[in-house]
Amino acid sequence: MKISSAEVVVTSPGRNFVTLRITTDEGLTGLGDGTLNGRELAVVAYLRDHVAPLLIGRDPANIEDTWQSLYRGSYWRRGPVTMAAIAAVDVALWDIKAKCAGMPLYQLLGGASRTGALAYGHASGRDLPELFDSIRAHLAEGFRAIRVQTAIPGLGTVYGVATSGGGDTRYDYEPAQRHPQPVEETWDTRAYLRHLPGVFEAVRAEFGPELPLLHDGHHRMTPIQAAKLGKELEPYDLFWLEDATPAEDQNALRLIRQHTTTPLAIGEVFNSVHDYTTLLSERLIDYVRSAVTHAGGVTAMKKLLDLAGVYGIRSGIHGPTDISPVGMAAALHLDLAIHNFGIQEFMPHSARTLEVFRTSYRFTDGLLHPSDTPGLGVELDDDAAAAHPYVPAYLPVNRLTDGTVHDW
């Protein structure tokens, strides 16, 4: 069998998605997600202009060889654009291989290690009553683990806090917004640090000790600020504190670790196992947050997660709505198969997105299951995709109260 075409489909059913469809001379197709939020067209060009021509005529069965050719053979390794493009190819080839085998992908990864993947949902509120309502709504939908984000008194909109209630608009705030220029938000870390422990105290008092609670710091603290926050949150027994400090500084995690037993998760902006070597070998984190879509696909993620397992570190695969349903399905097959699964982030896609991407994965009683459909279990509806052309969108920019651009 040979690859006969590799087409890139860009669609924007509420937000932008980049999908690679590989077709073989026997008529089999595979899908891969290459969505890089706010920088989508860079991946499109990388795939269309530089990668697709290399794929034509290759045997789709040789996934490892294709991965290594695109990684080692290009001379320019790593980086979010390159690794999202490689991920798109890799996932599409796994989709084809599993369809060929007539099996769901997780079977090719070793079979199911569990009945489903524990998912966490995103609760948020501008104040405690709104936050409590959001937590209750998630519990009613079946979530058994909840990420908690709130607004901060004195600041305006805060990233990760939904600005509107139910339905499709619920998560629209969080990923890139469809404006020609990035929205600017004001940030004050000291105000955040003063506010957050009281929020968790109130949530524990309301919802009791058992519910797994998570929090995302969006890379905004210095190491010593993160150490202080981790320590102050210890009484509230977090499942994890995510992205406490800017992720590229692996050594920062060492300092945080010396001060707190709050579990740490990091890695949604990482794209290679080489971003993790210190973190894993020194056991400086508890959860690996990379997305299949941004870290080189199933092939690379399986190796990364197996290495993490050697150190007793578990998975927490990135699953916001800017990962397409194709990337989400790939994550779920890994979640089901690997031994060191921790938790899966799950922001349900909008109804509009699910008209473009026909999924078969299921969310039941707090657990996600990729389904037993051969392959990934996702199909792309071309007509629905074409009805939603690309719209430029940016993640917001974060500035301190004096105007300084801040980390996030």
Residue 13 or 175 with smaller CB distance to ligand GCO? 175
**Judged by CB under 6 A, which of 33, 95, 174, 379 binds ligand GCO?**
174
Exposure string over 304-313, b if 16+ CB within 10 A, otherwise e: bbebbbebeb
Catalytic entry in 71, 106, 159, 171: 159
Catalytic entry in 122, 215, 218, 318: 218
Catalytic site includes residue 46: no
Residues pairing with 199 in the sheet: none
Q: Decide which of ligand GCO, Mg ion, none touches 322; Cβ closer than 5 to 8 Å per partner kind.
A: ligand GCO
Residue nearest to ligand GCO (CB): 37
Residue 140 backbone dihedrals phi, psi, to 5 degrees: -65, -30
Site for Mg ion in 260-289 (CB under 5 A): 268
Residue 175 or 296 with smaller CB distance to ligand GCO? 175
Residue nearest to Mg ion (CB): 216
Angle between helices 80-101 and 63-71 (to 10 degrees): 170
**Judged by CB under 6 A, which of 13, 34, 60, 175 binds ligand GCO?**
175
Q: Decide which of ligand GCO, Mg ion, none touches 345; Cβ closer than 5 to 8 Å per partner kind.
A: ligand GCO
Q: Rule CB under 6 A: say whether 322 interacts with ligand GCO.
A: yes
Closest CA to 252 of 273, 230, 271: 230
CB of 218 to ligand GCO, least distance (A): 6
Catalytic site includes residue 333: no
Residue 247 backbone dihedrals phi, psi, to 5 degrees: -70, -25
CB of 62 to Mg ion, least distance (A): 34
Q: Cα–Cα distance between 321 and 128 in angstroms, integer?
A: 25
CB of 401 to ligand GCO, least distance (A): 22
Residue 218 or 333 with smaller CB distance to ligand GCO? 218
Site for ligand GCO in 330-369 (CB under 6 A): 345
Residue 97 or 220 with smaller CB distance to ligand GCO? 220
Residue 33 or 322 with smaller CB distance to ligand GCO? 322
Residue 103 or 395 with smaller CB distance to ligand GCO? 395
Closest CA to 289 of 298, 276, 299: 276
Q: Rule CB under 6 A: say whether 320 interacts with ligand GCO.
A: yes
Residue 37 or 271 with smaller CB distance to ligand GCO? 37
CB of 243 to ligand GCO, least distance (A): 7
Exposure string over 226-239, b if 16+ CB within 10 A, otherwise e: bbbbbebbeebbbb
CB of 322 to ligand GCO, least distance (A): 5
Q: Rule CB under 5 A: say whether 174 interacts with Mg ion.
A: no
Strands of 2-112 (E only): list them: 3-11, 17-24, 29-33
Edge-to-edge, what's the strand order for the sheet holding 17-24?
3-11, 17-24, 29-33
Q: Rule CB under 6 A: say whether 40 interacts with ligand GCO.
A: no
Site mask for ligand GCO (CB under 6 A), range 192-221, x = bound: ------------------------x-x---
Q: Rule CB under 6 A: say whether 268 interacts with ligand GCO.
A: yes
Complete DSSP assignment for 130-193: HHHHHHHHHHHHT-SSEEEEE--TT-S--TT--SS-SGGGGGTTSS-BS-SS--EEEE-HHHHH
Place of tokens 């690794």: 83
At 26 the three-state DSSP class reads coil
Q: How many residues bind Mg ion (CB under 5 A)?
A: 2
Query: What's the gap between Cα 191 and its chain centre?
Result: 27
**Judged by CB under 5 A, which of 40, 95, 174, 216 binds Mg ion?**
216
Distances 191 to 21, 130, 219 between C-alpha atoms, Å: 46, 20, 16
Those residues with Cβ within 8 angstroms of residue 395's Cβ, 6 or more apart along the chain or in another chain = 37, 38, 175, 176, 177, 182
Contact positions vs ligand GCO (CB under 6 A): 37, 174-175, 216, 218, 268, 320, 322, 345, 395
Kindly list the catalytic residues. Answer: 159, 218
List residues binding Mg ion (CB under 5 A). Answer: 216, 268
